[in-house]
Amino acid sequence: MDSQIVKVSPGAPTALARAWLWLGVMALIGSGLLALLLVFSRTPGIQDVFPLKEFFRSALVVHVDLSVAIWFMAFAAVIWSAVGGAGLAWLGWAGFALASIGTVVMTVSPFFPGAEPVLNNYIPVLKQDVFFASLWICGVGFSLAVLRALITTWPKRVFSEPLRFGGFVGAVAAFFALAAFFWSWAMVPKIDEPIYFEVLFWGGGHTLQFQHALLMVVAWLWIADHLGQPSKASPRALSILYLVAAFPLLAVPLIYLTVPPGSLPHMELFAKLMKWGHPYMGPLILVGMLSLWNVRKAAAHPAKSAFIASFALFALGGVLGYLIQGVNVVIPAHYHGSTVGVTLSFMGLAYVLLPTLGFGKPEGRMAVWQPYVYGGGQLIHVLGLAWSGGYGVQRKVAGAEQALHTLPQKLGMGMMGLGGAIAVIGGIMFILVCLKAMTSRKEK
Ligand code: HEM
């Protein structure tokens, strides 16, 4: 197949993509620094002397929201701006301004009084007006970005621009997820119990995972194309595979229209949608795997390293997802395999887009090794969590509360700590490479 590389249009598409990349990188800095607090609060030995472990729960809330909500949505907006047209720039800038203000408010909210952490899944919260305000501001900001994406990424020739069509299908998934959040907010009876937030974000949270996985494949195929190995699948076949992968999304409005949000059957149906809906991504993942095989011949490049590490982590996360039994740290092991797989694909696409967006190139051996350090650290972190989960270590608890009594438990969580620290170093390397490129002018 001929190269399908997207030419990022000058003007609003480039300027908006640059702006959203800045927001994404800032969110990753915040989430990565908080990860260090989480890791040290759970590592045997270090946990006993680590002075900040009492902030573990608040740090976990902001770590998750800055990574899964802000970093992922901001980078999705980078992709939508880059593949999309130049229209409705004001809508894009309004969305960016609100999402940035919301992110700042979210980051400082733990320092305001009454920040009681609630560790529900998907979007954990601080039960506090400042934090809730940050969620609303971010929610409206990203909704404007998604609305613009739905209008500006629709391809001129549907079955012949697969990267753009993949971006569009990702925006449809985002629209369903945001609609689910607002629908649940409107329909779920408000009770002053932590379960309220679990139910509130359940539908939208499950739907967002389809957006992340779809855009991960867009990033993989964009990287492969950039490395001179465009996918062998025809543009038409690829576009149809994006439709197949997105087909289960039709269940989202169906579930909301037929089963009351907040009811147990409603939550069970979304858990089933994840279990039986994600396999529809299988053919696209296969195309991604074949592309990965083809780029093995390409010269060393930071984006190539990221593609390899991303595929390995995502595959591991997928396998661990089907090994979850009961509530223990196998769950965050699965989460980190999958979400860090997506994160690495976005890091790789960021490396491809930096010079295209008028920034400098990602240079030096540090850029080529960064994905392996981040991915390798996460691999150890994920395997440590999976091993510890097998020995019953609980999620979301720190220090002595973990009750690490046996050697296998201590070894497992020690491994989690070592891997987590290496991953944080890999995260810092990404930030350094990006900031160097983003603060230097592109050579003419
Ligand atoms: C430097 C990299 C990272 C490290 C060292 C790290 C470390 C951790 C740790 C130690 C926990 C607490 C687990 C528990 O107590 O149950 C956690 C939770 C979590 N992290 Fe990360 N993390 C990293 C990056 C990320 C990224 C990039 C994402 C998503 C994009 C992410 C998403 C999450 C989620 C969703 C949870 C909650 C897990 C649950 O609900 O059980 N993390 N992380």
pLDDT digits (tens, 9 = 90+) for 332-370: 999 999 999 999 999 999 999 999 999 999 989 999 999
Ligand 1 centroid to Cα of residue 336, in Å, is 6
Question: Confidence class of residue 168 from pLDDT cuts 50, 70 and 90?
Answer: very high
Per-residue confidence at 157, pLDDT binned at 50, 70, 90?
Answer: confident
Residue 221's pLDDT band (cuts 50, 70, 90): very high
Contact 290, 311 (CB under 8 A): no
Q: What is the pLDDT of residues 276-304, one digit of tens each?
A: 999 999 999 999 999 999 999 899 999 99
C-alpha 201/C-alpha 180 separation (Å) is 8
Residue 107 CA, chain-centre distance (Å), reads 18
Q: Give the angle subtended at the CA of 280 by the CAs of 162 and 330, to the nearest 5°.
A: 115
Nearest C-alpha to atom 41 of ligand 1 is from which residue? 332
* CA 183 to chain CA mean position, Å: 23
**pLDDT at position 441, please?**
57
Residue with CA nearest ligand 1 atom 32: 64
Nearest residue (by CA) to ligand 1, atom 27, is 340
Spatial contact of 373 and 425, defined as CB atoms under 8 Å apart: yes
Phi, psi of 162 (to 5 degrees): -60, -35
pLDDT recorded at residue 155: 87
pLDDT tens digits along 10-22: 999 999 999 999 9
Q: pLDDT band for 45, please (50, 70, 90 cuts).
A: confident
pLDDT band at 6 (very low <50, low <70, confident <90, very high): confident
Q: Is 246 in the pocket of ligand 1 (CB under 6 A)?
A: no
How many beta carbons lie within 10 A of that of residue 441, not counting itself? Answer: 8
Q: What's this model's pTM, rounded to 2 decimal places?
A: 0.95
Q: Is the dihedral of CA 91, 95, 101, 105 positive or negative?
A: positive
Ligand 1 nearest atom to the CA of residue 32, by list position: 1
DSSP string, 220-289: HHHHHHHTT---SS-HHHHHHHHHHHHGGGGHHHHHHHHS-TTSHHHHHHHHHHHHHHGGGGHHHHHHHH
Question: Considering only CA atoms, which residue is closest to atom 7 of ligand 1?
Answer: 35
In whole numbers, what is the pLDDT of the chain averaged over residues?
94
Ligand 1 pocket residue status of 337, Cβ below 6 Å: no
Quote the ligand 1 centre to 2 CA distance (angstroms): 39
Q: Can you tell me the distance from the alpha carbon of 107 to that of 126, in angstroms, rounded to the nearest whole number?
A: 11
Q: In the chain, what percentage of residues exceed pLDDT 90?
A: 84
Question: What are the tens digits of pLDDT across the range 101-117?
Answer: 999 999 999 989 899 99
Taking residues 180-184, report their average pLDDT: 97
The pLDDT value recorded for residue 54 is 81
Give the DSSP per-residue string, 22-38: HHHHHHHHHHHHHHHHH
| Closest protein CA for atom 42 of ligand 1 | 336
Residue among 36, 38, 383 to mutate when testing ligand 1 (max atoms within 8 A of CB): 38
